[in-house]
Amino acid sequence: MPEVLKAPLVVEFPFTRSLGPVQSAFLTGLRERVVLGVKTVDGRILVPPVEYDPVTSDDLRDLVEVSPTGTVTTWAWNHEPRRGQPLDTPFAWVLVKLDGADTALLHALDAPGGPESVHTGMRVRVRWAEERSGAITDIACFEPYEGGKDGTRELTGHDGQFADMVTGIVAPARLDYVYSPGRAQSGYINALVERRTVGERCPSCRKVYVPPRGACPTCGVATSEQVEVGPRGTVTTYCIVNIKAKNLDIEVPYVYGHIALDGADLALHGRIGGIPYDQVRMGLRVEPVWTDGGRYPDHYRPTGEPDADYDTYKELV
C-alpha cells in the first residue's frame, strides 16, 4: 500500500466576544479586584454570574460582591501544564465556592506542596494578577489561605458600574490537528509530483473522479481503478477575482477556472494564466504549467487549439 500523507494543520483565530451587561460587570470587576456574583430569583448567589435565571429564565441583573476567599469543593491535579494554561508548573484545577456564593468557580490552585497538600474543603484565596485588563486571567490563580470563613459578613449589593467598563474581550482559539488526505488523495498528490494527474474510476457508473476521494459520491461504492487524465483540458466556467483574500499570495486580478481535464468526468479548479484575464472564455483549451518544486500546476495556459464546442463540455459545467 502506498504511503498515506500526513501534515500538521493549525486552525487559529482571535475570536471576539461582546460581553453584555452581566459579563461586562464581572470582568471589569476583576480588573478592579472585585468579584461579583448575581442573585437568582430563588435567592442563590451564582459566581461566575449569568445573564438569565437557570430555573425561571428571568433576566438577572441583581449583582452582589462576594469575598475573594473561599473553599475548594473538588479538584484534580494537573501534572503537565500545557500552553495557555494559568500556571506553567504542576497545579490543581479547583472548583472554589467563594465566601458568599452558592456555586463554585473553576480556576487553578497554586499548591507548592503538591497533590498531597490539596483537599476538598481546604481554604483558598484569590491571587490577583499584577496586570489586569478585565479577563478571567485577572485572577492569576488561587492560593492556600489559613483564614476561616466569616459567616457573619453581610453581602453588599453592587451596581456593576465601574469607570471605563470592559465591553468586549478577545478569545483566541487554536486547534492543532494532524491532517491526512487519505489513500486516494495521497495517490493523486504523489502522482502530481511526477507531473501526472491521476483520478479514479467508479466501478458502477464508470465516472472518473479527479481529484479522487476513494468513493463515488453518487453510487456510494469504493473506487480503486486509477486513470490518468489530461494533461490538457477545457475551461468549463470561471470567474475573475478582483479581491485579494487574506493568506492568498496571488496578485489580482486573476482567473479562477473550472477545468475539465480530458478524460475526467468533473471539473477541477485552477488558475488560468498566460492570457490576459479579460480574454479567458468558456471552452478555452488549456494545459498545466509546472514550476520547480511546485506540488500543483502553478496555473493552466492556453494550448492554442480551437475552443471546445459548448455541447462537448456543457454536462461538465
Quote the radius of gyration of the chain (alpha carbons, Å). Answer: 31
Which of 96, 140, 208, 308 forms a contact with other proteins (CB under 8 A)? Answer: 208
Distance CA(307)–CA(317), nearest Å, equals 15
Candidate ranges 84-92, 119-127, 155-163, 261-269; the one touching other proteins (CB under 8 A): 261-269
Q: Does 167 bind other proteins (CB under 8 A)?
A: yes
DSSP 100: T
Which of 112, 195, 239, 305 forms a contact with other proteins (CB under 8 A)? Answer: 239
Which of 18, 89, 152, 156 forms a contact with other proteins (CB under 8 A)? Answer: 18
Distance CA(91)–CA(118), nearest Å, equals 10
Residues in binding contact with other proteins, number by CB under 8 A: 68
Which of 3, 251, 269, 311 forms a contact with other proteins (CB under 8 A)? Answer: 269
Q: Does 245 bind other proteins (CB under 8 A)?
A: yes
Pattern 53-72, binding to other proteins, x per CB under 8 A? xxxxx---------------
Q: Does 89 bind other proteins (CB under 8 A)?
A: no
Q: Are 179 and 7 in contact (CB under 8 A)?
A: yes
Q: Does 116 bind other proteins (CB under 8 A)?
A: no
Q: Are 19 and 27 in contact (CB under 8 A)?
A: yes
φ and ψ at residue 104, rounded to 5 degrees: -105, 150
CB of 12 to other proteins, least distance (A): 10
DSSP 13: E
Candidate ranges 92-100, 125-133, 226-234, 250-258; the one touching other proteins (CB under 8 A): 250-258
Q: Does 145 bind other proteins (CB under 8 A)?
A: no
Is cis: bond before 302, omega within 30 of 0? no
Residues near other proteins (CB under 8 A) are 5, 7-9, 11, 13, 15-21, 23, 50-57, 167-168, 171, 173, 179, 181, 185, 189, 202, 205, 207-209, 216-218, 236-248, 250, 253, 256-258, 265-266, 269-271, 282, 295-296, 310, 314-315, 317
